[in-house]
A and B are shown apart, each in its own frame.
Chain A
Amino acid sequence: MERNEFSRRHFVNRAAKTFLGVSALANLPGQLFAAGAGASTLKQLPTAKQVIYLYMSGGMSHIDTLDPKKPGTEVMGPNKRISTAVDGMFFTDNLRRLKQHAPKLAVINSMTSTQGAHQQGNYFMHTSYEMRSSIKHPAMGAWTLKFQGKNHPEIPANVLIGGDSNHPGSGFLESNLSPVALTDPSGGLPNAKMRLEEEHFNFHLNLAKKLDTPFIEKYNQKNVRAYSAMYDDAVSLMKSRDLKAFDLADEPDGLKDRYGRENFGQGCLLARRLVEHGVRFVEVSFGSWDTHSSNFVTLPEKADVLDEALSALLWDLDRRGMLDDTLVVLATEFGRTPEINTNEGRDHHPKAFSCLLAGGGIKRGTIYGKTDERGDSILENPVTIPDLNATIGYALGLPLDQIVYSPSMRPFTVADKGKPVAGLFG
């Protein structure tokens, strides 16, 4: 309790320092702490205010990244193992830059999934539920907004950078909780910039309003009104000072280089900008880790991009004091086999793999769970996918046991009864 009291005060302070806009600040306590209040015994005071969720699509090999085995063993292939400042935390030399940040991290080497196919695995990781053709479950971003609302009145609160069409989005929840999708992080928010000169824009919009008046008065219906409100919101978004959150042009070139110039690196930089401006949930997707063949050639390339971007992100968040209330998650659908196949590749391995958390109240310099000497099975502290999502939800203060009914009246909860991993907090 004491800790919670402390972190709450600490948190509000922090929020006051980093938050933008007076009106948003005014409703912060109500928005944040009322979420799920009285509804849940599992509720807790949030340690994280926003999430940057990095999704490694295709199944990132754990052995080649976060869970290396003894040097020279067969499963390691040509990888080298490097040690870090944290006792017992090792990476492969594919993550040389990340080594500096080990003391900020919590690495989970005991992730386990039941889904061995990409689409199903990806869906499970995003929603905590197995894929069914009869229902679509919400991803964590939508759950977060469902309980905590928007953090900023004008700009979108849930953003997906570089994701694909299969993202579960808001699932059965309201469609406006879906992430706004950006394919090109450098392109800003699509269509948010005025194409017309402002004078003409206002002139035409005003004319459109006048022309529409008889129609709007005649059909005073909910959806017609929603469309009028939508135009007002769009215009205030376009004119919002914080629209610049979506614009990487304001970031110095040196910093852009530091994150890496690939889409993923720039996506991570944009994610930092977005959470800084009050966006609650940003997912940056990066594929394709499906290294069935020539794993030792393709994986290092991927890992290099990840290493550069993630290291820059952690450094950047930390120096801005944002790592305390921003939870960074590195997730993937499954790991890859210790066995190296005839195509010098690794196949799908849902049984054991690794994810990473940092910031947002997660205990720094933590290594959690363990696999055997080949990286094949889990030896201790298995973490299921619902557990991982429950941990994210716990950090955000979401009411994990609050039942939400789908329109078909089926009951669901955030993270499907997963248990937050207590050992990761403190």
Chain B
Amino acid sequence: MKPLLFSVILLTLNNGLQAVDNKVSPSRQIDELVEKGLRAQSLEFNEPISDSVFVRRIYLDINGRIPTKAETEKFLNSEDKNKRNNLIDELLNSDGYVSNFYHLWADMLRARTEINGTNLGSATGRAYEQWIKTALRENKPYDVMVRELLTASGHSWENGAVGYYIRDYGMPLDNTAMTAQVFLGTQIVCAQCHNHPFDKWTQMDYYHLAAFTYGMTSTNNLPQGIKEVQAAIKRFPEKLDDQTQKDLKRAFSEILKPVRFNNVTTTDKLPQLPRDYQYNNAKPKSTVTPASIMGPKAVLSPSQPNVESFAQWVTSKDNPRFTLVMANRLWKKAFGQGLIEPVDDLKDHTAASNPELMSFLEGLFKQNDFDMKAYLAAIFKSKTYQRAVSLQEVPIGTPYYFPGPVLRRMSAEQVWDSIVSMIRENPDLPDEEWNLSAREQILRRQLIGESLYKQDAKQFVLNGLEVLKVQKELSEKIDAAVTKLTAARETNDLQKISEASADVKEARRALSDQIERRIYLKGLKEGIEFTVSSAKSNSAVTDAFFNELVTTIREKGNGDAMAGMEAIVDDEGGIVAKLVRAMLADERAILAEKQLEQSKKEMNDWHVEKKNSKTAFNTLKATSARMVRASELPSPAPLGHFLREFGQSDRELINNSNNQASVTQALTLLNGTVPAAVANPYSVFSRNMKEGANFKERLDNVYLTMFSRPATVEETTLFSEAWKSDPEGATVSGIAWTLLNTRQFIFIN
């Protein structure tokens, strides 16, 4: 890095930033500033790129996948002078943008489907994912998004942004480090335990900063409040002995278990310095109050929670790093390299490789009020972006002056999504199965939450006692099973051993069924009665959730809500899954119908008639169910999955994806199932290929599908010569296999 002081540059410019000239398009201003930077280094721009290179690159960068042959041809054949800009605008408004940029956010925020590594958090994980996608789809301004994340509270089913705090459940200090790194590009984590050895941050700074959000408790607490419940226990008519009180706690946690990791409460609770605090500016274990650590100070106000002041300070246009970090991050997304590297470890002396350009970009992002699509459009429409990639790599630690983008290996998600687009039609359409499964997960928690959170503390104690009663009944069964088991083990009777263990599993299931029936169902019925009676009296109380529930059960009961309820839950087993199924039955049916229609239409259009054809068609359908966009698969994919082999982030650490080569990647492409799926007779790839009248046309169709251009003369010669020597190789699968295993395919030039 050049030892240019960033702050020095800022001082020289009006308003601290390079001015944005409204008469010249921002894209031209980017080009001019890049050119100036290049000239100063006696460097030149790379060559402009052809439409073929452009269309493949822009689809990968915005949409997250290669363009289909139809999309490529539409673009190449267009004679519109403005076609590149139009395509950029079109793609930024597509579902593909949401799908692709979701990964940028999921990597930054470490968003996981099982948000904290247990399936108890999966409703929150799904709600968080939906929240991010919706924000991107609506193009919510960046500062608004961040404010909503930092101040998120409530239940997962009301506000998916609560994932921000639940992700770091039980680790509020670490959460602060995350916030600083992701949004302020500042690594303060060392200062959690001692003054930062390589930066100016002190441990006290850390605690001051952490104090803002320390009270954002992603709680398991009793919704009625611990104190109220304890008081209710004391007031209980029959005095509860110590053992019962102890058992009650366990019963409460049994009741609340399904809604754990689904709630965040805003409090102004403050942290204490650690026991071993070693500096003399404060005593160990003293309480620390909130204070900001850079730029204009955060202002605390008695009329709002600390976290509001914090969010305003972080996202302020006056915060010295907030805008800069995202402006640079999005630049990197387009060019494969930041003006500042690394993007999230800024220090006072950090300088951009082209400070004027960085300053202009920061100003631009502020000027358009953090409109990410407008900002990205300016970058993508620049001539700089639309130039050839550099032939040489940029060694780590050396500045890059952007004669064009750098050569990148596709991200794991881009490789996967590109392959998806070679197999299934309309690869960007949101996967309705995936969305419906999210609705199921979330609704499940909501049903339980709504049944519990309206009850008073005394009712809650009664619930606990009810659960204890059930546990007692069942413990006899378990005792019996244990006795049975002990006897069976004496004689080593395998049959009896497995019977006894089945008995236990049964008892376990019975416990949760009984909790659903005796506790949740009771709470829900009360809510329903209330809703029905307030509807009758035309009172203004409306509760969207209970209204929806009442509509569902009324339908089932031919107008009578309670009769419908009884019919749905019948009298055995759990009730939650049954209610969820009933509430989503219509959507499920519509989806199933749609899928059936789609299959019929395809079978008709593609003339799927013979037995072999049907087998191949069914194989394609089965494959397609798995091969959906990476943004609609569990995050992260399980170990061993294609995405993980290609370096998808485990979403444990910020931006933890990688594009390094590994042997298992080669094995996956050489011997895995992907080439065969691509070569299925009904895949997009195969159908494209077959459209060709002769060998040359078929090969061109393949190249248009995978590389957005026809095959070159040399390539055509290589293929035709190869097949003269081995005609058997000239199969669809042979071609797919060969080209999937080229560098050209997985690198973006």
Contacts and interface: CB of A to CB of B under 8 A. Distances in A.
Given A133-B178, A233-B663, A294-B481, A219 B508 contact: no
Contacts of B746: 227
Nearest to B482: A296
A343 B666 contact: no
A193 B508 CA distance: 43
A230 to B, nearest CB: 4
15 contacts: A133-B174, A135-B653, A164-B639, A190-B640, A190-B668, A195-B670, A195-B672, A195-B675, A205-B738, A211-B738, A227-B743, A235-B670, A297-B501, A301-B501, A343-B471
Nearest to B741: A208
Interface of A: 78, 117-119, 131-136, 156, 160, 163-169, 174-176, 180-183, 189-196, 200-201, 203-205, 207-208, 210-212, 214-216, 218-224, 226-231, 233-235, 237-238, 293-294, 296-298, 300-301, 341-344, 408-410
A234 B666 contact: yes
Interface string B662-673: 111111101110
Interface stretch (B428-436, B450-458, B711-719): B711-719
Given A176-B662, A343-B471, A410 B393 contact: no
Interface of B: 110, 116-118, 167-168, 170-171, 174-175, 177-178, 181, 187, 189-190, 198, 247, 250, 345, 389, 391-393, 407, 409, 468, 471-472, 475, 478-479, 481-482, 485-486, 489, 497, 500-501, 503-504, 507-508, 511, 636, 638-640, 644, 647, 650, 652-653, 656, 658-668, 670-672, 675-676, 714-715, 718-719, 722, 726, 728-729, 734, 737-739, 741-744, 746-747, 749
Contacts, number: 222
Given A132-B174, A341-B250, A224 B407 contact: yes
Given A219-B747, A408-B187, A165 B671 contact: no
Nearest to A77: B482
B380 to A, nearest CB: 22
Tell which of A220, A301, A342 has the most Cβ of chain B within 10 Å: A342
Contact of B639 (A181, A230, A408): A181
Contacts of A237: 663, 667
Contact of B479 (A164, A180, A344): A344
Contacts of A203: 722, 726, 729
Q: Which 10 A-B pairs have the closest CB atoms?
A: A234-B666, A230-B661, A191-B667, A226-B661, A134-B189, A181-B639, A191-B671, A221-B393, A294-B504, A133-B174
Contacts of B671: 191-195, 238
Contact of B116 (A119, A191, A235): A119
A207 B117 contact: no
Nearest to B483: A78
Contacts of A189: 667
A191 B668 contact: yes
Contact of B738 (A119, A195, A204): A204
Nearest to B657: A175
A234 B663 CA distance: 5
A338 to B, nearest CB: 16
Contacts of A298: 501, 504
A260 to B, nearest CB: 13
Given A176-B660, A223-B661, A226-B661, 10 more contacts: A133-B110, A135-B653, A167-B639, A168-B652, A174-B660, A175-B662, A203-B726, A218-B391, A221-B407, A238-B670
B478 A343 contact: yes
A196 B664 CA distance: 17
Nearest to B508: A293
B719 A207 contact: yes
Contacts of A183: 639-640
A215 B747 CA distance: 10
A344 B676 CA distance: 51
A75 B479 CA distance: 16
Given A165-B638, A296-B485, A200 B198 contact: no
A220 B747 CA distance: 13
A222 B250 contact: no
Contact of A344 (B167, B475, B636, B652): B475
